[in-house]
Structure 1
Amino acid sequence: MARLTLMVRAGCRLCDLAKEAMARVERRTGEAWTEVDVTGDAELEDEYGLRVPVVLLDGREHGYWKVEEDRLERDLASRPAPSAGS
C-alpha cells in the first residue's frame, strides 16, 4: 500500500497541478502514491470535496489545495513507514 494518497476530482485544475507535484516527489524519493477521485462517493465528498486536492501521508491529512513538496519530502524522510501490522 502506498504511503501517499492524493484525493482529487475530475476537471479540477489544482488537482492536475498536485498530480504533477506528486510525480516530482515520487521521482525524487521513490515513494509511490495513489490517486482517489472523491466524485460520487458521498462520504469522501463530505470529507474532502471542498478542499481537493488533499494529500494524505500514512492515512493522515498532510495538506490541501497545494502540495508542499519540500515539507512532504522532509516528512517522508523523518517518519518511518508504518509496519504492515499497524
Structure 2
Amino acid sequence: MSTIQLTLIGKPGCHLCDDAREAIRDVTLALPDPSRIALEERSILDEPDLFDRYADEIPVVLIDGRQHTYWRVDKERLSAALTERLA
C-alpha cells in the first residue's frame, strides 16, 4: 500500500488557505485509511518558483504532484479522488 502525497500550497494569513486546510482535514479523517495520506504544506512566500506559478490561485491542492484544485476545495471531489487512489 503506497502513500498518497497531498500538498497544500498557500501562504500565512490566507483565509481561503485556512478553509482548504480544514476541508482537507475533514476529508482525510473520513477516509478508510487516513494514515496513507501524507500532507505537506508549502508557502509561496518561501519558494519563488511557487510564487511565480501559483500567486493568483492559492490555495492550491496537489495530489501526488498533480494539481487537483485551486481557490476552494470541494470536499466531495477531493474525497472521490483520494478514495479512488486508495482502492
Which band: TM-score by shorter chain? 0.7 to 0.9
Shift of 1:80: 4.9
For normalisation by structure 1, the TM-score amounts to 0.83
Give, in whole Å, the separation in 1 of the partners of 2:71 and 2:78.
14
More helix by share: 2
Number of paired residues? 81
Q: Which runs of 4+ in 1 moved over 6 A?
A: none
| 1:79 counterpart SS class | helix
SS of the residue corresponding to residue 52 of structure 1 reads coil
Q: Deviations over 1:10-57 (max 9, x none)?
A: 111100111111110121121341111111321010111111000001
Q: Is 1:4 matched up with 2:6?
A: yes
Query: What percentage of residue pairs aligned between the two structures are identical?
Result: 41
Q: In angstroms, what is the RMSD of aligned CA positions?
A: 1.7
Aligned 8 A contact 1:9 1:39 in 2: yes
**Match in the other structure for 1:59:** 65
Deviation at 1:79, TM superposition (A): 2.6
Supply the distance in 2 between the matched residues of 1:38 and 1:80 (Cα, whole angstroms): 29
Q: Which moved more, 1:59-68 or 1:2-11?
A: 2-11
Greater relative contact order (CA < 8 Å, ≥ 6 in sequence): 2
TM value normalised by structure 2: 0.82
Q: Which amino acid in the other structure matches residue 7 of structure 1? A: I
